Amino acid sequence: MNKIITLLTVLILGSSGYTQDSVKIKRFEIGTNVTYLISNLFGYANYLQSAYELTYKYHFNKLSLRGGIGAEYGQDISNSINSDIDRTYSIIGTRLGFEIPKPINDKFKFYYGLDFSYQNTKNDYTTIYEIGSHYSITNSTTVELGVAAISGIQWNITNRIGLQTEFGIGAYASESVGAYEYMYPGAVEPEFYDTRGRARNVYLTVPGTVRFVILL
């Protein structure tokens, strides 16, 4: 409750300090993903945050260059009647692009543009089967390249801080390589396999990520 009151106080005080100076272009903009924070404040603790935690924009008069970078690491352990699964993963992503701003008024701005992205994902699975004393180990690395058309809305709370959300439609191609080790029940030594796969997909993202931005 105290977190919510603090957040509302910052927004109200910031909004009251909004001046006509806000119409001037602020060249630099840095931002961070606050969706996870907001979802926890309102009780949605299981929200999965985006890998793009830090963003940067440089604004020209009619065009803005944009970029994002982020990383995520985690571990999942699940137990069932027949097996125990231990998974560790890491995600590193970056994107570069541009956007064209279309101001609605002093406080709100619509924008659209294009992003080019790169993401590297690593997964390690270890599965222990309760029956037969056998196991499997899987290691995989997936590299993904993508391009997306994006659009969004930014609310300038003051002439220095704001909130924004966006959605997009894009396409990506990925390639995965990995190794698979399996110990069959009753076997003396495990067997090893190499895996490789490719995928292409088209995706649509709806507004769901909220960023807190600072204009410099």
Distance CA 195, CA 176 (A): 8
pLDDT confidence tier of residue 168, bands split at 50, 70 and 90: confident
Contact 116, 93 (CB under 8 A): no
**Which domains are seen in the chain, by residue range?**
2-215 (2.40.160)
pTM of the entire predicted model:
0.76
pLDDT confidence tier of residue 174, bands split at 50, 70 and 90: very high
Distance CA 139, CA 133 (A): 21
Distances (CA, A) of 28 to 51, 65, 199: 22, 10, 37
Tokens standing for residue 187? 């076997």
Q: Which of 104, 22, 26 is nearest to 59 (CA)?
A: 26
pLDDT confidence tier of residue 150, bands split at 50, 70 and 90: very high
Mean pLDDT of all residues in 168-180: 92
Distance CA 55, CA 68 (A): 4
Average pLDDT, the chain: 82
pLDDT at 52 exceeding the cut of 90: no
- pLDDT value for 185: 81
Q: Which residue has the tokens 């909220």?
A: 210
Distance CA 190, CA 132 (A): 14
Averaging pLDDT over each range in 74-78, 102-106, 167-171, which range is the top one? 102-106
**Helix, strand and coil in the chain, % to nearest 5:** 10, 65, 25
Mean pLDDT of all residues in 1-17: 44
Lowest mean pLDDT among 40-44, 113-117, 196-200, 210-214: 40-44
pLDDT tens digits for 107-136?
999 999 999 999 999 999 899 887 766 789
- pLDDT value for 120: 95
Tokens standing for residue 153? 């809305």
DSSP state at residue 110 = E
Per-position b or e across 157-178, b if 16+ CB within 10 A of its CB: bbbbbbbbebbbebebebebeb
Query: What is the largest distance, in Å, between two alpha-carbon atoms of the chain?
Result: 77
Distance CA 37, CA 53 (A): 12
**Residues written for the chain:** 216
pLDDT at 47 exceeding the cut of 60: no
pLDDT at 44 exceeding the cut of 90: no
pLDDT tens digits for 64-88?
999 999 888 888 888 887 888 899 9
- pLDDT value for 194: 92
